[in-house]
Amino acid sequence: MPHVLLIEDDASVRDGMELVLRRHGYAVFAAATGEEALALLASPAGQDVELAVLDLMLPGIDGFEVCRRVRATGSTIPVVMLTARGDDGDIVRGLESGADDYVVKPVTAPVLEARIRAALRRAEPVRRRPGEDTYAGLVIDRAGLTVAKHGTPLALPPTELRVLLELSASPGQVFSREQLLRSVWEHDFLGDSRLVDAAVGRLRAKIEDVPARPVYVQTVRGFGYRFGPV
Amino acid sequence: MSEVSGGAGTRERRGRWRRWGGLRARLVVAFVLVALVSAVTATGLAYRESRTAVLERKQDAVRTDFKNRVDQVAADLSVPPDEVSLTRFAGSVADGLGDSVVVAEYRSLKGSSDASADRSLISPSLREAVRKRNRMSLQRIDRDGSPYLAVGTPVTFESGPPSGLDVFAVTSLRAEQDDTAEILDAVRDGLVPVVLLAAVLALLAARTVLRPVRELGRATRRHAAGDLTSRVEAPKGRDELADLARDFNRTADALESSVAELREQEAKARRFVADVSHELRTPLAAMTMVATVLDEDAAQLPPDTAHAARTISAETARLARLVEDLMEMSRFDSGAARLNLGEVDLAETLRNTLALRALTDRVRTHLPDGVRAVVDPRRIDVVVANLVGNALRHGAEPVSLTLAASGDWVTVEVTDRGPGLAPDVLPHVFDRFYKADSARTRSEGSGLGTAIALENARLHGGTIEVANRAGGGAAFTLRLPWRRGEEDAK
C-alpha cells in the first residue's frame, strides 16, 4: 500500500481526499500546514512517504516553498500540486519549484487518483535496456535508475528522470511535447505542455554544464525536444 | 477584425484642410483683403480729390491769365487782321502765358505762336462751342497719354457783336498730372509694406486664437484616444476662448471622475465575482472529492437515499463546472487570462478534441494536415469542444468540422443540419447565461460556454462568427490570425 502525504489546510477537503484515497488502498498522512508536512517528512515515519499531494495556498509557508524545501533535502518523491484552474502564474511557479504534476481544484476523485497512480508509476524501475550509457560527462544507469554528472551522482525526481530516460532511449529523435506528456505523465487529455517545459527546465538545471546552452536535452523550435547529439 | 481606421486618413485630410482652409490662412487672407481694399479706396478718393483740385486751380489760372492777356493784346489788333498780324497777335498772347501755344483764327486765316505746334489739339467741338456760345470754353484733351488743356475764346470789342476772331491756347497739364501721379506712386510703394504688415498682424491675431484652439484640439484628441487625464493649460484672461478652455477642463474633470467611478464599480463587481468563485472552490473541492463515494456506494443504499446521493453527486459536478466557468470568465474580465502558446498541427489538435470527448464518430471532419500554427492548444480545445457540443445538442446531425487556412487567417468551421438559429437569437448567441429556449430553464452547461469560447478566440486576436446557412442549419466560424512558427513555444 503506497504511502501518500496530503498537505491541505482546509479540513473538509483534506478529509474528503483522505477518505477517497483510503478507500482506494492508500495509506494517508495528512498535514494542515507546510511546516507540519516538512516536520513529518523529516521524522522516521516520513521515510515511508512515496508521494505528496500539495495545496499551493497554505497558511504560513506556501506550497512553492514547501516544494523547494522538500527538493532541497534531496528528496525525490513525486509532488502533485493542487491549484486553482488557470492561475497560470501559480502553475508555472509550482512546476519550477519542483512539482511533477498538477491537478485543478475542484478535482474529482478519479482524476486525482489517476494522477497519483501515474506519478507513482514513474518512480518504478524500468528495464528497457540494461547497463550504463555514457554521453560526454553524463552517465545514465538504466538498471539502477541513477544519473551521474562528471562522476557525481544526481538526485533526479522521477518525472525528470523519466523524461531523460525517454529522450536518451533514442538519441537524436525529436519528441513532441504531446508525445512526452502521453509517455511520461500518461495524460489522457489535451495536456499542458508547460509540464514538459518545466520538467525539461529542471532537468537541464541539474545535468547541463551551462543550462542556458543545453547539450544533452536540446530544444527543436516548434516541434519539441531531443537528446543530443552530444 | 477589420476595424475601420479613421486615424491616418483623417489626420492627413485635416492637415491639407488646415493648409488651405484653416483659420490662419483665412485670417491672413481677410486681413490682407481689408488692408488692400482700404488702401485702394483711400488712395482712389484722395487721388480723385487732389487731381480735381489741382486741375481746377490750373484751369482757373489759365482762364484768368488767358482772358487778361487776350483782352490786353486784342486792343492793339486791327480788324480784320491778316495772317502776319494774326501770328504776331498769337505770339504776344503766348508771351504772357508761359509755355502755351496760342492760335488765333479769323475766318479762314490762322496765326500761331508756334508754327510747329500740333494744331489738331484744338478740336472742332471746341471751335464750335466758342463760336456758338460766344464765350470762353475749355476742353481737356489726352494726346498720346499727355494731358492738355485747350481754352478758346471769341474776341469781342466793346461788347459788340462777335468780331469773328477766335483765340485758342493749348497748355500742357503734364506737370499737374505728374504731381497727382506722385500720390499714386507713394501709395503703390506703400502698399507692399501695408499688405505685409496686415499679414503679420493677421498671423499674430491668428496665433492668439489658434494656440488655445490647437491646444484644445490636442487635449480633445488625447481624450478621444482614452487619456482622460489630459487637460488644457490653465487659461488666462476672460475671453470666450479662455471660457471654452475652462469649460473643457471642467467637462474633462467630470468625465474623468465618473469614468473612474464606473471603473471602480466595475472592478469591485469583478473582484466580487472572482472572490465568490474562489470562496466557492474550497467547499466544492471537498464536495467533489466525496461525491464519488456517494456514487460508488449508492447501490447499497435504500432507493430514496440512493437517488438523493446520485442527485447530489451530479449537481455537485455541475456546480463545479459552473464555478470553473465563472472563474474563467472573471479572469477574462480582469485581463488576467494569458495565452500559453505552442506550435501545433491544428488538425491533430482538433482530432484530439473530438477523441477526448468520444465525438469522433458523430462529426464529419475535413481536417487537412500540415496547418501548423502558434496557438494556445488548451483554449482552442475549449472553443471547438463548445462549438461542436452546441451543434450536436441544439442543431442536428450531421455536424461537420472543417479546418482551412489561407493568407493570414485560419478558420475552423462547425456546421449542423438543424433548423438554424432564430433571428432574435442570433445577436445574443454569445451573451452570458443567454437561454435561447426559455422552456429550457437550465442548459447542460453553465450558460457561459459560448461567451468563454468567444473570449478565447479574442485572446488569440481572432473572433467567432455565427450565421445561418443557405441550406439550413447554423454555421459557427472560428477565425484566428495565422501565426506561423519561429516563436519559442514556451
**Does residue B134 come out as left (phi exceeding 0), alpha (psi in the -120 to 50 range) or beta?**
left
**Interface residue A86 vs chain B (CB under 8 A):** yes
CA A126-A181-B410 angle, to 5 degrees, is 155
**Interface residue A182 vs chain B (CB under 8 A):** no
Indicate yes or no: CB of B343 within 8 angstroms of CB of A84. Answer: no
Tell which B residues from 365 to 424 touch A, by Cβ distance under 8 Å. Answer: 372, 377-378, 381
Q: Which residues from chain B sit within 8 angstroms of residue A86, using beta carbons? A: 327-328, 331, 337
pLDDT at B352 over 70: yes
* Beta bridge mates, B203: none
pLDDT at B23 over 80: no
Distance from CA of A13 to the nearest CA of B (A): 4
CA pair distance B189, A66, nearest whole angstrom: 95
Residue of B nearest to A192 (CA): B378
How far is CA B267 from each of CA B228, B277, B334, B433, rounded to the nearest angstrom? 18, 15, 8, 21
**Interface residue A220 vs chain B (CB under 8 A):** no
> Three-state DSSP class for B352?
helix
pLDDT on residue B160: 63
Mutation to test the B interface, candidates A6, A8, A13, A57, most B Cβ within 10 Å: A13
Q: DSSP string covering B191-244, please? A: HHHHHHHHHHHHHHHHHHHHHHHHHHHHHHHHHHTT-TT-------SSSHHHHH
pLDDT at B14 over 70: no
**Interface residue B452 vs chain A (CB under 8 A):** no
Indicate the pLDDT class of residue B45, thresholds 50, 70 and 90.
confident
How far is CA B355 from each of CA B313, B361, B387, B456, rounded to the nearest angstrom? 26, 9, 15, 21
Q: Averaging pLDDT over each range in B1-15, B67-81, B216-230, which range is the top one? A: B216-230
Residue of A nearest to B321 (CA): A106
pLDDT on residue A151: 81
How far is CA B252 from each of CA A45, B227, B240, rounded to the nearest angstrom? 68, 10, 18
Question: B460 with B375: CB under 8 angstroms?
Answer: yes
> Three-state DSSP class for A50?
coil
Q: Which residues from chain A sit within 8 angstroms of residue B487, using beta carbons? A: 222
**Interface residue A128 vs chain B (CB under 8 A):** no
Q: Which residues from chain B sit within 8 angstroms of residue A221, using beta carbons? A: 485-486, 488-489
CA pair distance B285, B435, nearest whole angstrom: 28
Residue of B nearest to A23 (CA): B293
pLDDT on residue A18: 93
CA pair distance B483, B405, nearest whole angstrom: 11
Question: A96 with B490: CB under 8 angstroms?
Answer: no
Mutation to test the B interface, candidates A193, A197, A219, most B Cβ within 10 Å: A193
**Interface residue A17 vs chain B (CB under 8 A):** yes
**Interface residue A109 vs chain B (CB under 8 A):** yes
CA pair distance B25, B18, nearest whole angstrom: 8
Q: What is the pTM of this model?
A: 0.60
> Three-state DSSP class for B103?
strand
Which of B293, B340, B352 is the closest to A20 by Cβ? Answer: B293
Indicate yes or no: CB of B356 within 8 angstroms of CB of A188. Answer: yes
Computed on alpha carbons and rounded to an integer, the radius of gyration of chain B in Å comes to 52
pLDDT at B3 over 60: no
* Beta bridge mates, B426: none
Number of CB atoms found within 10 A of residue A63's CB? 27
pLDDT at B293 over 70: yes
Distance from CA of A214 to the nearest CA of B (A): 15
CA pair distance A15, A27, nearest whole angstrom: 13
Which of A86, A112, A219 is the closest to B331 by Cβ? Answer: A86
pLDDT tens string B84-125: 888 888 888 888 777 788 888 887 788 887 777 777 778 888
Mutation to test the B interface, candidates A107, A190, A223, most B Cβ within 10 Å: A190
pLDDT tens string A169-179: 888 888 888 78
Q: Which regions in chain A score pLDDT beneath 70?
A: 84-88, 125-130, 188-191
Angle, in degrees to the nearest 10, between helices B240-297 and B303-333: 150
Of A193, A224, A200, A198, which Cα lies nearest the Cα of A214? A200
pLDDT on residue B490: 40
- Cell digits for B247? 469649460
Of B325, B343, B341, which Cα lies nearest the Cα of B333? B325
Indicate yes or no: CB of A189 within 8 angstroms of CB of B293. Answer: no
Average pLDDT, chain B: 81
pLDDT at B445 over 80: no
Q: Please report how many Cα atoms fall inside a 13 Å half-sphere around the Cα of residue B14, on the Cβ side.
A: 9
CA pair distance B96, B62, nearest whole angstrom: 11
Which of A110, A190, A192 is the closest to B352 by Cβ? Answer: A190
For A89-167, where are the E strands, in sequence order? 101-105, 132-135, 138-141, 146-149, 152-154
Which of A112, A189, A222 is the closest to B356 by Cβ? Answer: A189
Question: B87 with B93: CB under 8 angstroms?
Answer: no
Rounded to an integer, the average pLDDT of B305-312 is: 92
